[in-house]
């Protein structure tokens, strides 16, 4: 049986667990509003002495687009950005170690933002003892650092972005990465020892098919969302970015969860590349916006032990959307441990049975599916479906739903709890009747623990009981 208490970490336990993985990261100091205080040198290496002298001169003013490659030097600091600027026309903006960039209220720096065919590159590569800092002029709330990939590319090493998020167009995020709407994913932004501190809304947004570049690591986002209750999370990502999230620290925000957001206008939505959802010691939030389903299409999603997925009201999880009588083109591998199960649960502050739909397996589930030491709770919401069954039931909702017999009994050593419908709905017409009862635990399930499929000849005994 799953030990539910294993994932109910106290904040200080979460912090300790995170620091095991990123022991060289410094936690930002608390500010007067309870969030981290933006302060000089509060980057990922804030605990290390900085070799950067404080800027003393009048600085260098920038108010025009960067259309030819240039370098912002440490000696020319502070660099005062007084208007929105874009790095474009094939230009590269290089920012030296120890440089300080101060940006006016609501103004932003964009990499390849417009026109549509423009290109641009940002290279802001500091060092452990010589970080680069982006902040507001006289403490102003500046806009964002935005990158439109693949035309725009950015490398950020040992960089702090503090006090940003003043632009609603970039969702009040300090770092905004917009990718193309269609797959494959584009990994054109590298972050390495980067801190995003005190963002008005999201700390960072990585949208559509954008993702972090290989080698991204040690990202700290703290103090996000304090000024925007609609955008309280440290990260909002599309499914393309799941596999590329850097290790780091995503705590001390208005809501310490990573929002996975499926864009309803994307023509090729759903995860379409093999990916691993890593245990970053904060939950993943699923189902915000108009499209509430997280979907895996043409790929395998692997979920690490200890990961918690929290579903909003009416949301669900689909493994291959289509329900035709053919092998599915997607799979889910979620293998936890008795002490660190993979948890699928409600995002409600007062969770109840039926809060979210459950796990839907379309097509004939593949043999590579594997759910072990998993907890599925508070599911069984309206699936808007009608599945075959011999049981005399009117509701087809369940925590786990299948319309075709699976290649294997892929759910083992797991718990289904507090389902408003059934536990497992075996909703097919076939003589194949693999059972999920022997190795799993069912608690507070309103319907059948598992339903009875219809035999291949279509005949059912009269009103058979639940198996």
The pLDDT tens digits of the residues spanning 432-467 come to 999 999 999 999 999 999 999 999 999 998 778 888
What would the DSSP string read from start to end of 177-205?
EE--SSSSPEEEEEEEEEEEES-SS-SEE
pLDDT, residue 467, reads 85
pLDDT, residue 19, reads 35
pLDDT, residue 238, reads 92
Cβ-proximal residues to 295 (8 Å cutoff; 6+ apart), any chain:
239, 262, 269, 270, 271, 317, 318, 321
> Cα-Cα-Cα-Cα dihedral of 350, 355, 361, 362, to 10°?
-150
What would the DSSP string read from start to end of 34-80?
SSBPP-TT-STTTTSPP-PPPP-S--EEE-S-B-S-EEE-STT-SEE
244: helix, strand or coil: helix
Find out whether 427 and 393 touch, Cβ atoms under 8 Å.
no
pLDDT, residue 230, reads 96
4: helix, strand or coil: helix
Helix (H) or strand (E) holding 21: helix 11-21
With a cut of 50, list the residues of the chain below it in pLDDT.
Answer: 1-46
Q: List C-alpha distances in Å: 455 to 390, 407, 447.
A: 8, 17, 21
pLDDT, residue 264, reads 63
DSSP code, position 161: E
């Amino acid at each position: 049986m799953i030990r539910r208490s294993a994932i109910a970490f106290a904040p200080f336990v979460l912090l300790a667990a995170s620091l095991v993985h990123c022991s060289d990261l410094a936690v930002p100091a608390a500010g007067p509003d309870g969030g981290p205080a933006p302060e000089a040198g509060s980057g990922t290496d804030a605990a290390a002495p900085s070799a950067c002298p404080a800027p003393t001169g009048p600085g260098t003013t920038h108010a025009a687009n960067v259309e030819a490659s240039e370098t912002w030097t440490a000696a020319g600091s502070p660099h005062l950005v007084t208007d929105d600027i874009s790095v474009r026309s094939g230009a590269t903006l290089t920012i030296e170690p120890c440089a300080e960039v101060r940006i006016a209220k609501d103004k932003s720096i964009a990499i390849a933002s417009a026109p549509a065919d423009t290109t641009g590159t940002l290279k802001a590569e500091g060092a452990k003892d010589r970080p680069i800092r982006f902040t507001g002029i006289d403490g102003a709330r500046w806009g964002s650092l935005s990158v439109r990939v693949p035309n725009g590319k950015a490398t950020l090493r040992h960089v702090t972005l503090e006090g940003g998020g003043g632009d609603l167009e970039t969702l009040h995020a300090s770092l905004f990465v917009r990718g193309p709407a269609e797959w494959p994913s584009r990994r054109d932004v590298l972050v390495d020892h980067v801190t995003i501190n005190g963002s008005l809304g999201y700390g960072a947004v990585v949208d559509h098919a954008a993702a972090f570049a290989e080698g991204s690591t040690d990202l700290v986002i703290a103090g996000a969302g304090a000024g925007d209750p609609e955008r309280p999370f440290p990260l909002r990502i599309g499914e393309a970015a799941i596999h590329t999230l850097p290790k780091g620290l995503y705590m001390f925000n208005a809501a310490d969860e990573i929002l996975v957001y499926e864009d309803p206008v994307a023509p090729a939505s759903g995860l379409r590349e093999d990916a691993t959802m890593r245990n970053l010691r904060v939950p993943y939030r699923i189902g915000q916006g108009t499209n509430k389903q997280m979907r895996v299409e043409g790929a395998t999603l692997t979920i690490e032990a200890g990961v918690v997925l929290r579903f909003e009201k009416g949301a669900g999880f689909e493994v291959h959307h289509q329900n035709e009588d053919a092998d599915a083109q997607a799979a889910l591998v979620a293998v936890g441990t008795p002490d660190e199960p993979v948890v699928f649960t409600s995002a409600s502050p007062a969770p109840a049975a039926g809060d979210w739909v459950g796990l839907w397996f379309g097509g004939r589930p593949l043999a590579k599916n594997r759910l072990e030491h998993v907890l599925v709770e508070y599911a069984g919401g309206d699936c808007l479906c009608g599945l075959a069954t011999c049981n005399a039931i009117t509701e087809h909702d369940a925590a786990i739903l299948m319309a075709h017999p699976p290649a294997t009994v892929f759910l083992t050593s797991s718990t289904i709890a507090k389902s408003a419908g059934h536990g497992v709905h075996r909703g097919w017409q076939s003589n194949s009747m693999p059972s999920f009862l022997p190795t799993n635990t069912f608690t507070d399930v309103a319907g059948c623990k598992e339903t009875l499929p219809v035999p291949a000849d279509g005949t059912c005994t009269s009103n058979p009981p639940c198996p």
